[in-house]
Amino acid sequence: MEPIVNIQKILIANRGEIACRVIETCRKIGIKSVAVYSDADVAARHVRLADEAVHIGPASASESYLQSSRIIDAAKQTGADAIHPGYGFLSENPDFANACKENGIRFIGPSAESMKAMALKGAAKALMIEANVPVVPGYHGDDQSLETLTLEAERIGYPVLLKAVAGGGGKGMRRVDNSKDIAAAIDSARREGENSFGNGQLLVEKLIERPRHIEIQVFGDSHGNAVHLWERDCSLQRRHQKVVEEAPAPNMPENVRKAMGGAAVRAAQAIQYAGAGTIEFIVDGSKELSEDSFYFMEMNTRLQVEHPVTECITGTDLVEWQIRVADGQHLPKSQPEIDAQVSGHAFEVRLYAEDPYNDFMPAIGSVKKFKHPVSTSSMRIDTGIETGDAISIHYDPMVAKLISYGADRQQALMAMKSLLEQTSLIGLTSNRDFLKALISHEDFGRGDVHTGFIADNSEQLLTSPAVTSLEFGFAALATHLNRPTSHLTDDPWCGGDAFRLNMSGGYTERFEDGDGVEVACYISASANEITVTALDECHSFTVLSHSLDTLEVRHSGKRLLLTTAVETDTVTVVTPDKTITLKRHSMNAADDQATEGPGNLMAPMPGKILEVLVSNGDAVEAGQPLLVMEAMKMEQTLSAPRSGTIAGLNLKAGDQVGDGSLLLEVHEQSE
């Protein structure tokens, strides 16, 4: 490849795993890196990895990572030749790209003009029609009155999808199935678009049932060249946000791949695109894929979160390509060279600090332990988080991207299952178990996926499994081995447990599961094994090795490797398939129950009240919307936990509320 001559130092205007990812490539090709950080990220991994780091403001993104002037100043201060925006934050902000240009700093991304062309979905759709790229039937006009949007929805035919024209990541997007719901959906989508992107304009599209989300990675340079690097299937989503991505797409006919790739390249050429971009298509998954079954959805004018799966199958470093294009070079490879090099299959899953069994509620707090295998040719971990770091309310709660690669889809899938089994997050609830169940689903194994897959299989995927007798046994065993006086012996003078002259010593530990059920576990130890009785079942364990957080045992002839964390109030055990966190017997259970009573509406996480829909004294029905709050930039409607009368409401729009705070009470009519 050509030497890089114009870029010697890059400032990364981002944080977390993508900042670490860019720094990795900078190191590989001999370019110095500069990190920026907020008050919340003083000791973050990307700060530690970079050659230099500059503080840019308070924890809130609006006062730090979204402050373009501070980032430009940091680049000048450190002598950076270029700025890599990563994804999110300022990555698709044309004003920021222009500011870089005006200050003599190269922006590692497309031109501001290209961004503007694709920023508004309505205008982008018109451009695509001109470029002979298929689009979904819909309305993207300037008349945004409720009457016009309602009439257009009727013309297109329900169900329809409302989209904020400047939106992304599922924000400002609403499904509407009938005319009676359209007004409320328009109001909500418009408000979310204004709050998230400063633009409440909407477009209306025909909703395609059982859709697949297939996107094409494109790349252009400043010399007029454009190529595609094959497709990614991102159909497994929740709330329009991607959960699992893979490349190539399963069950993709070669003629359809060529048609989609050609359409994507035409889209990039239509706006003289230079840099990494993604053309997202919605595909009719109700029938076999064909050349007339895909439609342009939007273009992301940046590097995608899921770019590693493309890197795996094409053998490319897309960040390096970005840097070389920004340096003024030609694309490193032609389309025939790319096509000839593609091999194998890759998956990516997004490990989040969130609770899949509680409506995917984000988890905020300290990461007490994050364990994962080292990267190999078949496994890769992209992360900005390490043990001891914190997940903050101010940023996305993604912990890591786990990537697997294999010679074919089955091998890549087996590698991903192994990677998940070897990964554990302790201290915060995570979606690891959900991801394992998701990729183990029979239909997913066949590649039979669509964007409604998770919702359609919610009972199987999103029901919290009960804690088994054996799992209570694991918790008791970990607790026993964590006792300062614990010994594998019958000798009463050496052990710290109670004993009788005619039998081995034993004692009881009590645990409480997530449903509030308390279980007593009787533990006794001999010279060779530890026995735990829980839920009327007896389990004998032979301890092969144990440390502060790792336990290797033999049970019923099988060797098991567990990750454990025993604390004063809780014990966590991570098995290959399941994460079990139990309360150790608490004397304050009654007090806790008094706070979280059946009629009390609690804040599910920290956030801001957007709308108060009721007043004190109002009679409400169970499930009736009471409040609308915003958390992690997403709206959430909080409903009545039961029928009754509103009391104790002292909130107004704009109020900030803490996690678990009492918002209001719903008194029974007789109270």
- Catalytic residue annotation: 302
- Look at the chain and count its residues: 671
Which token pair is 190?
A: 């418009």
End-to-end CA distance of the chain: 77
Listed in sequence order, the residues at least 6 apart from 383 whose beta carbon sits closer than 8 Å to its beta carbon are 17, 20, 45, 370, 372, 399, 400, 401
Which is nearest to 513 in space by CA: 562, 474, 437, 570? 570
Q: How far apart are CA 51 and CA 253, in angstroms?
A: 46
H/E element, 526 = none
Q: Which residue blocks in 286-347 are alpha helix, DSSP H?
A: 307-314, 318-326, 335-341
Q: Does residue 248 have a cis peptide bond before it, meaning omega lies within 30 degrees of 0?
A: yes
116, 375, 461, 603 from 607: Cα distances, Å:
31, 37, 27, 8
Q: Are 575 and 332 in contact (CB under 8 A)?
A: no
Q: How far apart are CA 473 and CA 532, in angstroms?
A: 6
H/E element, 573 = strand 570-574
H/E element, 118 = helix 112-119
Q: What is the DSSP letter of 503?
A: B
E strand segments, 327-443? 345-352, 354-355, 361-362, 365-366, 369-371, 379-383, 390-391, 398-406, 424-426
DSSP sequence for 585-635: --TTHHHHHHHT-TTEEE-SSSEEEEEE---TT-EE-TT-EEEEEEETTEE
Beta bridge partners of 106: 82
Q: Does residue 110 have a cis peptide bond before it, meaning omega lies within 30 degrees of 0?
A: no
Which token pair is 457?
A: 């299989």
Which token pair is 454?
A: 């998770």
| Cβ neighbour number for residue 569 with a 10 Å cutoff | 10
Q: In degrees, to the nearest 5, what angle opens at C-alpha 321 toward C-alphas 319 and 326?
A: 95
H/E element, 169 = none
Q: Which residue blocks in 158-227 are alpha helix, DSSP H?
A: 182-197
